[in-house]
Amino acid sequence: MTTYWCPVPDDPDRVFPLTRPQAPNAAPVADRAMPRAAVPEPVRSRLAHPPAEFAGLSLGRPRIMGIVNVTPDSFSDGGDAFATADAIARGRALRAAGADILDVGGESTRPGADPVPVAEELRRVVPVVGALAAEGALVSIDTRRAEVMAAAIAAGARMINDVTALSGDPASPRAAADSGLPLVLMHMLGQPRTMQRAPSYACAPLDIYDYLENRLAGCERMGIPRARICVDPGIGFGKTVVHNLQCLRWIGLYHSLGCPVMLGASRKSFIGRLTGETRAKAREPGSLAAALWAVRSGVHLLRVHDVAETVQAVAVYRSIAAGEPA
């Protein structure tokens, strides 16, 4: 039986051993916490020496990725910044509010979304990436397509964020490898159009761990070292409310992969289902709760819509935890 390892929040020298449950869709079975020194290699070394930097940013504190959706149909803010000038203005505002990274995307991946033609995706994102990069912003291109990756990189993008973990386009692994840029690999079950139709797992957190480990191994075979990769469990992408909660509860598990970990839970529908809030833009409190749980669990990057609010919440949380301004 395979054992997985999850650091204890607030006590990284101790870990929970996790094993698979007998019933499908159930949470991992957690045994009593044990010293990290008892964990087998290579996981022990990965946990003992967490990533110190990513994309040129120190990971001494959580980093904030601000969302710039150049789309008419994203689940939360579709249409708010669809015009090029509006998207550039949103990026500037998020950067001024404290975003360390601006994630520019031109294709909605909300549940039920249809694919966007490549030419249209390029038309949406390239001028926005170029304008923000020219002002010195660290811009990430949120795409699954090699052609869009290449055009955005030529325009100044310095990071790739792929919701398909480089599986959505046969050319994307080589494009990512040749770019030399840092990238985010996210888990998604199926495709946006169908991913929320009765998603099922043997054990969501552990199945996602295995998937990401497999994608990391594939990247390494392409010459992309783990030091260039961040992983994201993909909250809301082919997951029920319970699956999402299980992944959040055990999000520290993904530190065992030896990469930075990112969380994208901002305004997601599971918050609405837990609280009854149907308006995506009114889910900021729930988004902050998820973000602070992630910070407590050692997550390195937070992908959010509400940057100023997240920056403030994280600063106060970290100061309380340290007993002094952080």
Give residue 12's pLDDT: 86
The catalytically annotated residue of 145, 158, 283, 303 is 303
Percent of the chain with pLDDT over 70: 97
Give residue 75's pLDDT: 57
Q: At what angle do helices 241-249 and 204-221 cross, to 10 degrees?
A: 70
DSSP 234: -
Contacts of residue 205, Cβ cutoff 8 Å, sequence gap at least 6: 18, 27, 28, 233, 246, 247, 249, 250, 253
Give residue 121's pLDDT: 96
Asked if residue 82 has pLDDT above 80, the reply is no
CB 7 within 8 A of CB 21: no
Asked if residue 14 has pLDDT above 60, the reply is yes
**pLDDT, average across residues 79-87:** 83
Indicate the length of the chain as a whole number.
326
Sign for the pseudo-dihedral over CA of 198, 203, 208, 213: negative
In whole angstroms, give the CA distance from residue 148 to residue 214: 24
Give residue 77's pLDDT: 57
Is 215 considered catalytic here?
no
Whether residue 212 is contained in a domain is answered as yes
What digits encode the pLDDT tens for the residues 117-144?
999 999 999 999 999 999 999 999 999 9
Whether residue 18 is contained in a domain is answered as no
Displacement of CA 220 from its chain's centroid (Å): 20
Strand (E) or helix (H) holding 206: helix 204-221
What digits encode the pLDDT tens for the residues 201-234?
999 999 999 999 999 999 999 999 999 999 999 9
Is 239 considered catalytic here?
no
Give residue 192's pLDDT: 79
Whether residue 25 is contained in a domain is answered as no
Among 179-183, 191-195, 257-261, name the one with the lowest average pLDDT.
Answer: 191-195
* Number of domains the chain is built from: 1
Which domain, by its residues, includes 253? Answer: 61-322
CB 110 within 8 A of CB 77: no
Encoded tokens for 143: 């795409």
CB 269 within 8 A of CB 243: no
The catalytically annotated residue of 63, 110, 144, 268 is 268
DSSP 70: -
Give residue 110's pLDDT: 73
Q: Looking up tokens 């295995």, which residue turns up? A: 210
Whether residue 182 is contained in a domain is answered as yes
Give residue 221's pLDDT: 96
Whether residue 216 is contained in a domain is answered as yes
Whether residue 78 is contained in a domain is answered as yes
Give residue 318's pLDDT: 97
Task: Give the model's confidence band at 84: pLDDT under 50 very low, under 70 low, under 90 confident, else very high.
Answer: very high
**pTM, two decimal places:** 0.95
Give residue 10's pLDDT: 86
Whether residue 11 is contained in a domain is answered as no
Helix (H, G, I), strand (E, B) or coil at 16: strand
Give residue 79's pLDDT: 65
Whether residue 125 is contained in a domain is answered as yes
Q: Looking up tokens 């710039």, which residue turns up? A: 68
Task: Give the model's confidence band at 259: pLDDT under 50 very low, under 70 low, under 90 confident, else very high.
Answer: very high
Give residue 190's pLDDT: 81
Whether residue 42 is preceded by a cis peptide bond, meaning omega within 30 degrees of 0, is yes
CATH number of the domain that 247 lies in? 3.20.20.20
**pLDDT, average across residues 243-256:** 98
